[in-house]
Every structure is written in structure tokens, then in C-alpha cells.
Amino acid sequence: MPRTRRRAPRARERTDDLFIRPPLRQPGPPYAPLPAPTAAAAPAVPTPVRPAPPPAAPTPTAPESATARLSREATRAEAEGRPEQALALLDEGLDGLPDAVDLLVLRAEILARQRRFADAEADLRRTLRIAPANGQALLDLGRLLWRKGLAAEAAETFDRAAAHQPRNPAAFNYLAEALNQTGQPENAVVALERSLALDPRQPRAYHLMGRVLDRLRRPDEARVAYRRGQELTGR
């Protein structure tokens, strides 16, 4: 693949995951004083101590594959604010492994975050020629098509992504947005119901549901959806 001149790296927006506190340690039983010693108690026979068993042999682990190593190193480089180094690692890896779809999808995502959308789309389409059922590539391509204003093509791509990622709520959310934009609000409601069945704690999905239901002139149901979204955001 011919090299293209890259722009200076941009700062990447990052969000922190919620910190989950470990459960508090449960208190032990209340303190009870030892019983008073009794006279002429027979000496206790010591219990023989068995030697500890030898430590178990470590479980052998499979060696890390070349694609897994490159993905890990490129992801770390981008997270540390070095997207150009991440792309260089992936370029080098794809020179030797041109059909490594995991590397292609990762490079496309990094390119898109660097606003190199045409290069990202080329990588995603190349991925889908190799692996037409790659759900992540379909999802990423749909987002690029949506950004270009191709709502109908994006809806079709999101529909394929949801078919290959039936446990991914995001695929159904994107599909619902595209369906609503292309004049299919009833189908958008169905997609949102699928998404919320997978993960009912999605305030944005409830807000979108409210918008779609308003469009369908179902104000009572829309108010319920808006209220649920507000409850989840604490507003």
C-alpha cells in the first residue's frame, strides 16, 4: 500500500471508566474471651502437621500472535498520544500480513480519529472484501457513511452490522437513528426495543425513543421514554 503523508498528531479525547468500589469486608464474629483453664487437664496430643503439597506447575499459555502483539502495541501508542507511531506499527504489520482484518479495522479506526476519513473508509472496504461478515468493520463503515450524509446506505450497513452483532446494543442504536432519518420511524422503534432489551440502562437510547415516538404522534409513550432517560442521567 503506498504511504500517504500524515498530518501532525491530534490529541485524542479520552473518557475514564467508572471506578467500582470493592465490597466492604464483612465484620468477623464478635470477640469471645477464652474459657478459664481447668485443673489437672490432660495434655493435648499434638496433631501431626502434614507437609504442604508442592506448588502446582504453571499452566502453559499460548504464545501471543503477531497480530495480537501489534494491536496491543498500536493501541497503547495511540492511548499515549502517539497516533503516528501507532499507524507506523500497523503499516509495518500489514506489509507482512496484508489480510489481517483485525489490524485493518484498528488502523481504520485510528485514521478516522485523525480525521483521515477517506483512508479509513478504504481500509474498511478492504476488510469487508476479505471478511464480509466482520461486524465491527460494518459498524465503523456505517458511521463513516452517516458522516458523509449517505443515510440510506448507512442504514443498510448498520442493518448488516446488527445482523452480525446481535448482542451489541450500539449496532441497533445506530440502525434506529438511520432508519428514523430515512423515514422509517416504526422500524426505528423496533431497533430501539432490541437495543434496550440488551441493555436497559441507556439514557441516549431512551431519548432517541422519545423523539421517534413523538414523530409517530404517540406522546404518552414518548413522555415515558424521556422520563426514563432523565432518571438514568440523574436529571
pTM value is 0.71
Pick the last residue of a domain from 132, 159, 183: 132
Report yes or no on 81 lying in a domain.
Answer: yes
Domain range for 181 is 151-235
> Which of 17-26, 44-53, 61-70, 206-215 has the lowest average pLDDT?
17-26
Query: Sign of dihedral through CA atoms 199, 24, 19, 165?
Result: negative
Q: According to the model, what pLDDT value does residue 51 have?
A: 63
- Distance CA(182)–CA(120), nearest Å, equals 25
Residue 89 and residue 164 share a domain:
no
Residues 186, 223, single domain; the answer is: yes
Helix, strand, or coil here: 59?
coil
Question: Do residue 128 and residue 159 come from a single domain?
Answer: no
| Residue that wins the pLDDT comparison between 211 and 44 | 211
Q: How many domains does the chain have?
A: 2
Residue 56 in domain: no
Which residues neighbour 150 within 8 Å (Cβ) at sequence distance 6 or greater? none
pLDDT band at 117 (very low <50, low <70, confident <90, very high): very high
Per-residue buried b or exposed e for 163-189, using 16+ beta carbons within 10 Å of the residue's own CB = ebbeebbbbbbbbbbbbbbbebbebbb
CA angle 77, 66, 72 (to 5 degrees): 25
Specify the CATH number for the domain of residue 119. Answer: 1.25.40.10
Are residues 188 and 227 part of one domain?
A: yes
Determine the distance from the C-alpha atom of residue 57 to the mean position of all C-alpha atoms in its chain, rounded to a whole number.
35
Is residue 9 included in any domain, yes or no? no
Residues 230, 159: one domain? yes
The answer to whether residue 102 is domain-embedded is yes
pLDDT category at 14 given cuts 50, 70, 90 is very low
Residues 162 and 224 in one domain: yes
Residue 75 pLDDT exceeds 70? yes
Residue 166 counted as domain residue: yes
Exposed, middle or buried by CB within 10 Å (0-12, 13-18, 19+), for 84? middle
Residue identified by cell 440510506 is: 152
* Contact predicate 143/177, CB 8 Å: no
